[in-house]
Chains A and B, each alone.
Chain A
Amino acid sequence: MAFTLGFHIILASLGVALPALMLIANYRGLRRDDADALKLARRWSKAVAVTFAVGAVTGTVLSFEFGLLWPAFTGRFGQVFGVLFAIEGIFFFLEAIFIAIYIFGWERLSPWTHFWTGVPVVITGLGGAFSVVAVNSWMNQPQGYSPATGDVTSVEPLKVIFNPAVPYEVPHMILAAYLVTGFLVASIYAVGMLRGRRDRIHRLGLLIPLTVACIATPIQFAVGDTAARAIAKDQPVKFAAMECVQRTSTHVTEYLGGRCTSTGVKGGIGIPGFDSFLVGWSTSTQVVGLDSVPPDERPPANTMLHWAFDTMVGICTVLIGLALWLGIGWWRKRDFPQSRWFLRATAVSGVAAVIALECGWIVTEVGRQPWIVYNVMRTSDAVTNASGVWVTFGVVVALYAVLGAALITTLLAMSRRWRSADEEGVVVPYGPESGPPPDVPTGAVR
């Protein structure tokens, strides 16, 4: 399930944020009568459709997995967190409907009406992200049900929905979605420009998503910092594992990199007292260590966890540098920096952002282990008793490999088709549909 979620999280991020990029392009196209921006909006809307369709499939599979892999978890707590998924269901439903209307309405609705049918897509994306991430937050900070052990007999839905981890986990994830999508889309156009395609479409296609991502990144840094401090308070063991803090103490050294051992971090760069400072703005702050709980309640794979956390923070820091670069360039010349190095950095930023996203996912999920519901239910107690879980899991992995490959080839095929269409100079949104319909001749191109 961790694997499927790791895959789904990318698609879900695209599903949340890509419609926003599409609408920004659409808005600009209509406001400034910019045909290129409209063309971009139209292309992105098709990418939205494909990623949403695949995201819907992975989402359906995830809802199966709640039963196929974690029946005991869902059997006991489904009645507690399920309402959030019910709410998510509404958002998801509306998103599907409005995406369909938006995509198929390009030529049939008046331009501004059409623009407004896209707005619900963005809003429902945010709402859906809230509901789903709130479930994960609840797993980190469970509350709102009783009794503490055995069958749940009473539930307080509002306490479940607005659990203490929501205020930092939800914004962190939504910003991550915008950040990842922005850098990912920008990186595609940066690669195109590096290959010499410097037309206006590519410039706009780079600038719109990159601006969104660059605005999101510094905010994300601050939100993430707040989240880390909150985790030090709410889930001290997870925090200790992220930072490899073995013993509860003050004046704790912050290590970058290194290998976690039971006697402390080996290798890595140490900044004395900085970890304590980060937690409580003073080097004399006490940081809870892994020794506060028995060994069987500590997260596994400590070194990996520590590296995942450091990688995420490191990538975010570097991306802020990229944002500054863009900001300075824009301030001085009203344009993004023209150097190839800027384009190269942007081209890498997409993959980097995805890695940061996955690292964040590892930190929050592995860091919570061995609990599936923090301090309440162990993952090993949640899993299905059916044999053959590994077979199911293997099949799922294989399927996702196929799905991922197919998704990428499809998006590539779409972009190739657009490029050849560019060279012919056809397809103006809201104009009469000239040229061949985009989906025809089998084997005609190339």
Chain B
Amino acid sequence: MTKADAVAVVLWIGVTMYAIFAGADFGAGLWSLLSGSGDRGRRPRELIDWAIGPVWEANHVWLIFALVVLWTGFSSTFEAVFSTLFIPLSLAALGIVLRGAGFAFHHNARRARGRALAERLFGLASVLTPFFLGTVVGSVAGGRVPVGNAAGDPVTSWLNPLSLVIGALFLSTGAYLSAVFLVSDARRAAAPDLERYFGTRAIVSAVVTGALATIGLFALRRDARFVFDGLTSDGLPLVILSALCGIAVLVLIHRRARRGARVLAAGAVASVVWGWGIAQRPYLLPQKLTIADGAAPSATLTSVLVVFGVAVVVVLPALGLLFALAQRSVIEETSGPPPPPPEEGMGARS
């Protein structure tokens, strides 16, 4: 493995982490949006707040991480992607701003109206970002991003069936992940009604995600032959692994198993991400720019790897500590108590 390949692997680790953690975050936003207004959706929303409150900032750092590695290690790819696909990427950034603002401020909004508005913003933003990031991935996979400053078509590069399907797939994947995560959170909060509530949603979104993935495969075959061929040869084991993980999660949730569902759901997402990476090899931009050709000078690649090594040694333990504390509820937001005990006739099947 060359140094450039190693940096590509680092980039992919960042992408995977973002896909899993931020995906779950965005999905939670989607569920918050779909939970209905007023009292009807109050309890699910409270659970969502409680579950993602303490750790949300750390999750989004993965995106910055991936962007920095991309522009440092593969500057020309960054230039090509961001200049050609500036419309979907601007909209994704818009989502990030609105979401951050909505989340930060809804904790402090005093009036019910402000609170509802902030929640609405948060939910809407959670749809924008994953969808448009998905279209970006679809455009790259479809080979619609040529090297250069805004060399590709600003509209058709991302407004095409493949990109749209991948966008929808990102959305449903996030919803699926977060529903699975929220089932565990509901159990921690001792709210069996919410456990059932999100269990149902996990199963529904899993089926939708599976269907979209299948459509996506057809779209790839038509539009992105290179990636399709990769997925059905070298990447095939990972695709199968992902499908198996997905099915296992459904079984676990159906049987209301206590553990394993979250790890398997994350595994299902991670294996698809890596399957895509393997299918794209050796290209950064399929059939336009290879990893070797697009890589930064050797000293830069070394620095990226050194910095990554330091990050693994320093950041991961700290991150682990935070997650462990959050999971054990040792540290909890004082302002966000766990949702109140279940009330009759609410939540269960609304």
Q: Is the CB of A410 within 8 A of B57?
A: no
Q: A56-B100, A68-B90, A90-B307 are in contact. Are A410 and B108 (CB under 8 A)?
A: yes
Q: A79-B297, A442-B110 are in contact. Are A395 and B321 (CB under 8 A)?
A: no
Asked whether A188 is an interface residue with its Cβ less than 8 Å from the other chain, the reply is: no
Q: Interface 1/0s, chain A 395-433, versus B by CB < 8 A?
A: 100010011001001100110010000000000000001
Which residues of chain B from 67 to 115 have a CB within 8 Å of any chain A CB?
67-69, 71-73, 75-76, 78-84, 86-87, 89-90, 92-94, 96-98, 100-101, 103-105, 107-112, 115
Q: Which segment of A100-108, A169-177, A217-225, A292-300 sits at the interface?
A: A100-108
| Range, interface on chain B | 35 or more
Asked whether A437 is an interface residue with its Cβ less than 8 Å from the other chain, the reply is: yes
In angstroms, Cα B58 to Cα A97, docked, is 6
Chain A residues, CB < 8 A from B55: 100
| Range, interface on chain A | 35 or more
Query: Which chain B residue has the least Cβ–Cβ distance from A416?
Result: B110
Q: Which segment of B163-171, B228-236, B268-276, B329-337 sits at the interface?
A: B329-337
Chain A residues, CB < 8 A from B311: 89-90, 93
Q: Interface 1/0s, chain A 72-111, versus B by CB < 8 A?
A: 1011111110110111111011101111110111111100
Q: A98-B318, A101-B321, A155-B300 are in contact. Are A60 and B93 (CB under 8 A)?
A: yes
Partner of B68, one of A56, A76, A89, A406: A89
- Residue of A97, A98, A106, A433 with most partner-chain B CB within 10 A: A97
Q: A60-B93, A82-B300, A93-B311 are in contact. Are A74 and B78 (CB under 8 A)?
A: yes
Which residues of chain A from 138 to 152 have a CB within 8 Å of any chain B CB?
145, 152
Q: Is the CB of A67 within 8 A of B71?
A: yes
Q: A63-B64, A392-B86 are in contact. Are A97 and B78 (CB under 8 A)?
A: no
Which residues of chain A from 299 to 341 have a CB within 8 Å of any chain B CB?
none
Q: Is the CB of A100 within 8 A of B54?
A: yes
Asked whether A226 is an interface residue with its Cβ less than 8 Å from the other chain, the reply is: no
Q: Is the CB of A386 within 8 A of B154?
A: yes
Q: Is the CB of A156 within 8 A of B299?
A: yes
Asked whether A384 is an interface residue with its Cβ less than 8 Å from the other chain, the reply is: yes
Asked whether B285 is an interface residue with its Cβ less than 8 Å from the other chain, the reply is: no
Asked whether B61 is an interface residue with its Cβ less than 8 Å from the other chain, the reply is: yes
Q: Which segment of A31-39, A47-55, A266-274, A365-373 sits at the interface?
A: A47-55
Q: Is the CB of B86 within 8 A of A388?
A: yes
Within the complex, the shortest CB–CB distance from A392 to chain B, in Å, comes to 5
In angstroms, Cα B334 to Cα A64, docked, is 33
In angstroms, Cα B299 to Cα A157, docked, is 7
Partner of A395, one of B80, B94, B150: B94
In angstroms, Cα B226 to Cα A396, docked, is 37
Q: Is the CB of B101 within 8 A of A406?
A: yes
Q: Is the CB of B89 within 8 A of A63?
A: no
Q: Is the CB of A445 within 8 A of B321?
A: no
Which residues of chain B from 300 to 348 have a CB within 8 Å of any chain A CB?
300, 302-304, 307-308, 310-311, 314-315, 318-319, 321-322, 325-326, 330-337
Asked whether B65 is an interface residue with its Cβ less than 8 Å from the other chain, the reply is: yes
Within the complex, the shortest CB–CB distance from B140 to chain A, in Å, comes to 13
Chain A residues, CB < 8 A from B315: 90, 93-94, 97
Q: Is the CB of A443 within 8 A of B72?
A: no
Within the complex, the shortest CB–CB distance from A375 to chain B, in Å, comes to 21
Q: A101-B325, A157-B300 are in contact. Are A52 and B57 (CB under 8 A)?
A: yes
Chain A residues, CB < 8 A from B333: 103-104
Q: Is the CB of B78 within 8 A of A61?
A: no
In angstroms, Cα B110 to Cα A52, docked, is 21
Chain A interface mostly: helix
Which residues of chain B from 109 to 138 have a CB within 8 Å of any chain A CB?
109-112, 115
Asked whether A282 is an interface residue with its Cβ less than 8 Å from the other chain, the reply is: no
Chain A residues, CB < 8 A from B243: none
Query: Which chain A residue has the least Cβ–Cβ distance from B63?
Result: A60
Q: Is the CB of A78 within 8 A of B72?
A: yes
Q: Is the CB of A105 within 8 A of B331?
A: yes
Partner of B108, one of A50, A97, A155: A50
Q: Is the CB of B73 within 8 A of A64?
A: no
In angstroms, Cα B103 to Cα A68, docked, is 25
Chain B residues, CB < 8 A from A92: 61, 64
Asked whether B48 is an interface residue with its Cβ less than 8 Å from the other chain, the reply is: no
Q: Is the CB of B335 within 8 A of A439?
A: yes
In angstroms, Cα B332 to Cα A406, docked, is 25
Q: Is the CB of A96 within 8 A of B57?
A: yes
Q: Is the CB of B314 within 8 A of A90?
A: yes
Q: Is the CB of B314 within 8 A of A94?
A: yes
In angstroms, Cα B335 to Cα A52, docked, is 18
Query: Which chain A residue has the least Cβ–Cβ distance from B103?
Result: A53
Q: Which B residues have a C-beta under 8 Å from some C-beta of A?
A: 54-55, 57-58, 60-61, 63-65, 67-69, 71-73, 75-76, 78-84, 86-87, 89-90, 92-94, 96-98, 100-101, 103-105, 107-112, 115, 149-150, 154, 296-300, 302-304, 307-308, 310-311, 314-315, 318-319, 321-322, 325-326, 330-337
Q: Which A residues have a C-beta under 8 Å from some C-beta of B?
A: 50, 52-54, 56-61, 63-64, 66-68, 71-72, 74-80, 82-83, 85-90, 92-94, 96-101, 103-109, 145, 152-157, 384-388, 392, 395, 399, 402-403, 406, 409-410, 413-414, 417, 433, 437-439, 442-443, 445
Can you list the 6 inter-chain pairs with the closest CB atoms, starting with the nearest?
A67-B82, A82-B72, A75-B79, A439-B335, A79-B296, A57-B100
16 A/B residue pairs, CB under 8 Å, sorted by A: A54-B101, A57-B104, A68-B82, A68-B89, A74-B71, A75-B76, A92-B61, A94-B318, A97-B318, A97-B321, A99-B57, A384-B149, A403-B97, A438-B334, A438-B335, A439-B107
Q: A54-B100, A59-B64, A385-B150 are in contact. List 9 more A-B contacts (CB 8 A).
A: A67-B71, A71-B80, A78-B296, A94-B314, A94-B318, A97-B58, A101-B321, A155-B296, A439-B336
